Structures are given as structure tokens and as C-alpha cells.
Amino acid sequence: MRRILVINYSQTGQLNRLVSSVCTPLLTADDIQVDFIAVQPVTPYPFPWSLIRFFSVFPETVLQIPQPLLPPTTELAEKYDLIILAYQVWFLSPSLPISSFLQTPLAQQIFKNTPVVTLIGCRNMWLMAQEKVKVHLQRLQARLVDNIALIDKCGSAASFIATPMWMFTGKQKAKSWLPKAGISEQDIKAASRFGDRIAQRLQEDSSAITCSMLTGLQAVTIDEKLIASERVGNHSFSVWAKLLYRLGPEQSIRRKFGLAVYVCFLLLLIITVVPITTLAKKLLAPLTKKRIAKQKRYFAAPSGE
């Protein structure tokens, strides 16, 4: 009997549907046992968010400061053949519940010497979050063998409005003139192909999984236009997160005042710096073609585009 552990935290329910699609072929296989851990914070995060609450978790999320979690209710096996780690992206980082879980003694126990498939559902930026997850997996002595990243394909400009509206109203289509936010149901349904391939590999033989199973399945798509933006944004987030965290705890007046200043700065950055950066990247594209191609190969690994 092959054993798989699926670890997941979904706030909107979208990631749950994605996990369900990937796991359906695994659950129907007689010789594969699938266990689930639904990560649960001691203090639940709201959905929909209020604007203040949304930004109040910014410093802890970016700095990956672990928060208290409820103990899993699942009875776990001593060893798993594969772990599927499903997570959302918050502020270019793994969601705070997931980064908290990865810093628990339980994670140290179950991840050691175990192959891992990461499964990401997000708007469009996930590269820096995955880099942070890689650091956790290396510390836990786990082996990343595949990555699946599904994104909202309605367009960066449209999703820039549609996704926050979803977060703050709880409605995927908050306005009639906005596209439906989130990963398309068609893409979620098609994600079952990853589960088919994983099941096929597990049933081939009893050997340990040491290399990618999902090559050629378009598990990820790298948008080269977002690579530099993510890096710049991640650096900015890190600087501001450290500053805001030092101002005081989440409910403090100083933290709230600092967050108000940060939100204004962020809006100004989006209106001014981002368009200029985009134009500069287009002008320099012929000179950076080889470097960008190398970056795309790196971020697409281990599954590839």
C-alpha cells in the first residue's frame, strides 16, 4: 500500500476544489491510501477580509512568524511515500497558516526524507513564495520533486481589481463589469491529470520517488514579465514588514498608523513605478533575452513548463 499525505489550507474554498481535483484519481486507486491535514489556525482568519484585517497580517506573513495552530485530527502514518503541500500566496509568501505549519515539530517529523509535490493556487505571482517554501523544505530535509501552479488567467489588469474585490466581498464576481476572479473551473477540473500521473508512478513499482513525475503536463507557466516585479516587490515587502512589525503588535495604534502609510506608499508605487518598470523591461528585452530564459528554466523546475 502506497501512502500519500495532503496538507492544505484554503480560505476561499478554491484551493480545496483544486486539491480535490488532483486527488480524485488517487482516492479511487485501491492500492493508494490518502490522508489529509487541513491546517487550522487557533484564531481563524476571516473571509471575506476587512481592509484593515487584511493588511494587519502583512508583517507576520512576509516575515513568516509562526502563529498558533490547532493539532491535526488525522491519525498519521509513520512514513509517507509522498506529501502534497497545497498553499495559497499571501503577500508574495506562503500563506501564514502554511508557513506556520512548516515550522512545527510535526512538520520536522513527517517531511524528513520524503518527496514533496507543491500545489499552488493564486492570482498570478507565486515565484517568491515558492522560493520561501523551498527553504523550508531544505531545512526539513524533504525532497521537492514537482510543483504545480495554477493561476487566474483573466489578465493581470483585470485580476488586480477582481481578486481584491473577491477578498473583501466574498464574491468571485463582485461586479457585473468585472470578470470572475480566481482559477477557472475548467483549469481546476483539468488538474486531475496531475493525480493520474502521480497514481501511475506510484503503481509502477515500490521504489522511492526521486525525480519529477509531471514533466510535459504544463504544471507551471512562467510569465517572464513578472520575474523582476516579484523580486522588487519581495524586497520592498521585506523592508516594510520589518518596520511595521517593530511598531508594535497587530492591534496597536502605531502598527495601524504605519499600515495606513504603507498602503498609501503601495498605491503610489503601483501608479508610478510599476508602469515605468514595465516600459524599461520592454526596451531592454533584446539585451536580457538569455538571462530571462535562464531564469524561466530555474523557476519552472522541477516539473518544467
pLDDT at 126 over 90: yes
Please enumerate in sequence order all residues whose Cβ is within 8 A of that of 155, keeping only pairs 6 or more positions apart, or say none.
179
What separation in angstroms does the CA of 215 have from each of 5, 101, 183, 260?
A: 21, 28, 21, 44
Q: What percentage of the chain reaches a pLDDT higher than 70?
A: 96
Residue 44 has a pLDDT of: 94
DSSP state string for 247-301: T--TT-HHHHHHHHHHHHHHHHHHHHHHHHHHHHHHHHGGGSHHHHHHHHHHHHT
* Residue 122: strand pairing partners: 151
Between CA 204 and CA 27 the distance in angstroms is: 17
Q: What local confidence, expressed as pLDDT, does residue 250 receive?
A: 87
| Confidence at residue 156, expressed as pLDDT on a 0 to 100 scale | 66
Between the CA of residue 234 and those of 88, 114, 276, what are the distances in Å? 16, 29, 18
The pairing of strands 93-94 and 89-90 is antiparallel
Q: How many CB atoms lie within 10 A of CB 124?
A: 20
Helix (DSSP H) and strand (DSSP E) numbers for the chain = 12, 7
Q: Which of 9-18, 164-173, 274-283 has the lowest mean pLDDT?
A: 274-283
Q: What is the pLDDT of residues 226-239, one digit of tens each?
A: 888 888 889 999 99
Residue 280 Cα distances to 153, 229, 266, 272, 283, angstroms: 24, 12, 20, 13, 5
Q: What is the pLDDT of residue 303?
A: 95
Cell of 248: 508594535
Residues of the chain with pLDDT > 90: what percent?
Answer: 70
The sign one gets for the Cα dihedral 283, 286, 290, 293 is: positive
Q: Class of the 2-224 domain?
A: alpha beta
Average pLDDT on 4-28 reads 96
Confidence of residue 120 (pLDDT cuts 50, 70, 90): very high
59 touches 244 (CB < 8 A)? yes
pLDDT score at 131: 98
Q: Could you give the strand order of the β-sheet that contains 2-8, starting from the edge strand earlier in sequence?
A: 32-38, 2-8, 82-87, 115-122, 143-151
The structural domains of the chain, with segments of one domain joined by +, span 2-224
Residue 144, H or E segment: strand 143-151
DSSP for 72-89?
P-SPPPS--SEEEEEE-E
